[in-house]
Structure 1
Amino acid sequence: MTALHLISLPLDLGLFRRWAAHRKLIGDEGAALHHLLGETFGKSALQPFRLMVAPHAVNATLYAYARTDHASLVQTAKETGMPDALAVCDPARLDSKAMPQTWTKGRRLAFDLRARPVKRLMISAGVFPKGAEVDAFLLEAIRRHPDGPSPDDKIDRETVYRNWLAERMSEAAEVTQTRIVRFERSAAIRNGLRREGPDVTFHGELVIRDGDALAERLARGVGRHAAYGYGMLLLRPSGR
């Protein structure tokens, strides 16, 4: 398996937003970053990724996983990056570390994850046709009550999203604790179409079941839209 690297890259938010506006990539920060990173470091080279911004900050740090090493990423940026893009994400400021090649079964770790808990329909459901992407919470409500909401059955949004996460992590790890620290609905612009969907940040702990599966989950991301700022599993020391 190709080694995985954790990348960090400081960004000036003012420069980034001006770059995005100039490219007419406004209204979806994740889509703008997708284009910026692809043009600078190569298609899909840095994904999944996560932009971390402190409240009222003018600078941010972008974290990403890459199967390309530090030297190769910098070389690609210097050889092919456009000057306006390089002003936003200067490759000289890029830092990285190699992730472990193996993960120990039974190891407990904490995690931080921003995800978009949606499901792609294999068959139609309610007003949504086959192939539609639907909020997992809304889909659960439709499946349990196809004729409309029931006052006797309150569906808990956090429980639905926690189950969604547990399903996607089940092969790699058991999610032993989860809490939602942030929830909002945000826009995603794909192929010129604007759609709103759930934008959730989870904090929790996991116990590794399969080290290879966990490594693959880190590299591929959790859930959909991993190329647009969702799905990056950031690991932390366990609270225990």
Structure 2
Amino acid sequence: MSLHLVELPLSLRALHLWAGARKPGSFDEGSTLHHLLGETFGPAVLQPFRLMVAPRAQHGTIYAYARLDAEALRQQALTSLMPGHAEVIALDRLRSLPRPAYHWAAGQRLGFDLRLRPVVRLASALTGRNENGVEVSFRKGAEIDAFLSSALRGKENSREKVYVDWLAERLTPAASLDLAATRLASFQRLRIQRDRKRLDGPDAVLHGTLTISDPAAFADLLARGVGRHRSYGYGMILLRPAQRMP
């Protein structure tokens, strides 16, 4: 079944009102969108996804990959659409473009824009001082920032290098990363809500260029997404024209 790139406009004000009516006093963007899209189109139908919002804008756009095209998604949503959902999303403006596997070829260079939560799960307990000099301790199995994990192990790498290396590892074997043409575009620490737990961690955007190694694996990678929390707005590879070769 072919993959489709989906574009769905939404009202940010309506999104906040919808979330507030369900859970007053608390708003988690990723969790809210996870529930909104799941209730509208079905669980994991639009996944991975990414919300893009211009500065000071009142509306945003969700981009996602789906196995259904725009018309099929619209018809699927209309069978169970609730008035609250309809106030948030502009279903009549839902659009899509096919992204079939035959678009990709070995050696093909593509640019990308990728929002990530670059975290690792610890294979063993880890203790040390964080970047602020504070003593921290984590149990086996804890999910922590990949940069913090590297620092606690005494590796003197920049945050950008750690995140770029983290991504390169997860693109293999589908694609290789052009390290010279990939950079950390933005970073913040963000506390998210997952299963009644509050998790503090990295929220990063990487811009760069990759080269496809295995077209079939690359098609699967687009559909699957990169890293953890892919059903909450992370890990969607938005493709761009490749950057110029140095």
Q: TM-score range by the shorter chain?
A: over 0.9
RMSD: 1.4
Q: Is the 8 A contact 2:2 2:98 kept in 1?
A: yes
- 1:39 matched residue in structure 2: 39
Deviations 1:152-191 (A, max 9, x none): x743111111110110112111110210110001121001
Task: Determine whether 1:175 maps to 2:177.
Answer: yes
Q: Provide the C-alpha distance between the structure 1 equivalents of 2:187 and 2:49, rounded to a whole number of angstroms.
A: 19
- In the TM superposition, 1:118-197 aligns within 5 A as 118-126=119-127, 127-144=137-154, 154-176=156-178, 177-197=181-201
1:90 is displaced (CA, Å) by 2.9
Moved over 2 A (4+): 68-72, 121-127
SS in 2 for 1:57: coil
1:78 to partner: Cα distance? 0.6
Q: Which residue of 2 aligns with 1:8?
A: 7
Tell me, in whole angstroms, the C-alpha distance in 2 between the residues paired with 1:154 and 1:125.
Answer: 17
- Residue pairs, 1:5-84, within 5 angstroms: 5-24=4-23, 26-84=26-84
The equivalent position to 1:207 in structure 2, one of 204, 211, 214, is: 211
1:69 Cα offset (Å): 2.7
Q: 2:131: which partner in 1?
A: none
Report the AA paired with residue 157 of structure 2: I
CA distance in 2, matches of 1:27, 1:117: 22
SS of the residue corresponding to residue 218 of structure 2 reads helix
Counterpart residue type for residue 9 of structure 2: P
Determine the structure 1 residue equivalent to 2:133. none
TM-score (norm 1): 0.92
CA contact 1:49–1:65 (8 Å) conserved in 2: yes
Question: Under a length normalisation based on structure 2, what TM-score does the superposition of the two structures give?
Answer: 0.90
> The residue matched to 2:126 in structure 1 has which SS?
coil
State yes or no: 1:100 paired with 2:100. yes
Instruction: Provide, for residues 36-61 of structure 1, a one-character-per-residue CA deviation record: whole Å limited to 9, x for no partner.
Output: 00000000000110000000111111
Q: Hey, what's the Cα distance between the residues in 1 that align with 2:69 and 2:57? A: 29
Counterpart residue type for residue 201 of structure 1: V
- The equivalent of 1:231 in structure 2 is 235
For residues 140 and 171 of structure 1, what CA distance do their matches in structure 2 show?
A: 23
Structure 1 gaps of 5+ residues are 145-152
Q: Structure 2: state its 5+ residue gaps.
A: 128-136
- How far apart are residue 213 of structure 1 and its match? 1.2
Q: Distance in 2 between matches of 1:130 and 1:80?
A: 43
For the Cα contact (< 8 Å) 1:113–1:202, is it kept in 2?
A: yes
How far residue 12 of structure 1 moved from its aligned partner, in angstroms, is 1.0
Mapped partners of 1:21, 1:120: distance in 2: 32
Task: Output the CA distance in 2 between the equivalents of 1:223 and 1:44.
Answer: 16
CA deviations over 1:117-156 (Å, ceiling 9, x no partner): 0012233333222221110011112223xxxxxxxx7431
Please give the secondary structure, in 2, of the residue aligned with 1:80: coil
Q: How far does the alpha carbon of each residue in 1:44-100 deviate from its partner, in whole angstroms, 9 at most, with x for none?
A: 000110000000111111100011232321122111121101221132111001102
